[in-house]
Structure formats: C-alpha cells, structure tokens
Chain A
Amino acid sequence: DARVTQTPRHKVTEMGQEVTMRCQPILGHNTVFWYRQTMMQGLELLAYFRNRAPLDDSGMPKDRFSAEMPDATLATLKIQPSEPRDSAVYFCASGLPLAGVYEQYFGPGTRLTVT
C-alpha cells in the first residue's frame, strides 16, 4: 500500500531554532506539494515541485522558509529561524497527473510547535 511518509510526526522546538521536515513521496509520483494547516488560515499551499523543480513557492515566506527536492525520493521543508507563528501542521502531498486527474495523496503531517 503506497503512502506518502513524513518525518518527524511531531516536533517541539524553541523560537530561533532550525526545523527540518522531510517527506518521501509515493514512488513514481512526479509532483510534490507542501501545505500548512492552521485553525485561522486553513490549508495553505506553501510550495510545489514537478520533476524535482520548484514550480511555485509564492505561498512561502522566503526569508525563513526553504523547500528542496534533493532527489526524487526526498523533499524537505526548512524553517530557519523558527517563530511561534510557524506552529501548525505541515502536510506533504504527492501526485501524478494521469488522464487529466490530478489527485493528491497526503502524508500524515508534521505537527510543529514553536515555543
């Protein structure tokens, strides 16, 4: 049963620390998304990649956030330095557009708490 995996599942850190979240997309999927979910803002798209190249990162605060895909099996989202307002659940999703359907498969999320 192919799934998107994310690590860590939970992260508590102090303000100012670097946070790295990792995602392993489903094998063969060529598109990877990073979302942030908060009560106030709902689900926000931060960035997404197609064939490891960034297509859109307009939703991401550039000064502290960075997203990369070092290879086809790993996507990373880094926050440096972290701030309390970054506390949220961060989801990774992957997909492969087939026959015009663009279904995304979500990982379980990383719950980040910045104190």
Chain B
Amino acid sequence: AQKITQTQPGMFVQEKEAVTLDCTYDTSDPSYGLFWYKQPSSGEMIFLIYQGSYDQQNATEGRYSLNFQKARKSANLVISASQLGDSAMYFCAMREGNTGGFKTIFGAGTRLFVKA
C-alpha cells in the first residue's frame, strides 16, 4: 500500500529565509509522481510543483524546488526567500502508476508560519 508521511505538523520560518518541508513516501511501483500543494486559510488547494519518478533533475518552479532523493524515498519541498504570503498548509501527494487512472494520496500536511 502506498503511503505519504509528513512528519512536521507545524514549521516556523523567518521572512526572507529558506525553509524545507519534509515528505517521505512508500511505494513498490517504479512509476509514480510526487506533488506539492498549498492550502492558504481561504481553503483552496493550489498546485505548486511536480516530480516524476523517472525525472533526472529536481523540479523547480520559481521559489519552489523539490529535493527528490529516490533511494531515500523523500521528496522535500524547499521554499526560498520566504514571504508572509507563504503562510499556509502544505500537502505532499503521490500518484502511483502511469496508466489508467491517476489515484493520488495526500499526506497529513505541514502548517507553515512565516514570521515578519
């Protein structure tokens, strides 16, 4: 069974500093995808970044980068130069398999607080 683990219920970071949100996963499928979503207090889910299991390079999207360590089964999100607007809940998610449907399982989330 696949599993996503986010061990940090809450994190604090000073504005303008970088922060790493941890995510580990467990799957026996060689083909999978990893996602990070942001959920601000308004409640919507915002896609941030995607990493495929066969991608050679770590994914980056603006201030977001995904530190993908396949052997360790970790997919940590790095946010550089934190901004007050980054305060939100962050979810790591995994899609298993590459054909048919793309069922996605979410972790429990990490709440990030950015301090001024």
Most buried by B among A91, A102, A105: A102
> For B101, what are the chain A residues with a Cβ–Cβ distance below 8 Å?
31, 48, 50, 55-56
> For B103, what are the chain A residues with a Cβ–Cβ distance below 8 Å?
45, 48, 55-56
User: How far apart are A70's CB and chain B's nearest CB, in angstroms?
Assistant: 20
Chain B positions 58 through 102: 1 when the CB is less than 8 Å from some CB of chain A, otherwise 0 = 000000000000000000000000000000000100010010111
User: How far apart are A63's CB and chain B's nearest CB, in angstroms?
Assistant: 22
Residues 69-115 (chain A) with a chain B CB within 8 angstroms: 89, 91, 93, 95, 97, 100-106, 108-109, 111
The answer to whether B35 and A103 touch across the interface, beta carbons within 8 angstroms, is yes
Q: Quick check: is A43 within 8 A (CB to CB) of the other chain?
A: yes
Count, A-B residue pairs, CB within 8 A: 57
A104 CA to B35 CA, complexed, in Å? 10
User: How far apart are A18's CB and chain B's nearest CB, in angstroms?
Assistant: 24
**Cross-interface CB contact of B33 among A43, A45, A101, A111, cutoff 8 Å:** A101
The answer to whether A97 and B43 touch across the interface, beta carbons within 8 angstroms, is no
User: How far apart are A61's CB and chain B's nearest CB, in angstroms?
Assistant: 18
Give chain A's interface residues, CB within 8 Å of chain B: 31, 33, 35, 42-43, 45, 48, 50, 55-56, 89, 91, 93, 95, 97, 100-106, 108-109, 111
- Contact sample, A vs B, 5 pairs, CB 8 Å cutoff: A33-B104, A43-B91, A55-B101, A91-B45, A101-B52
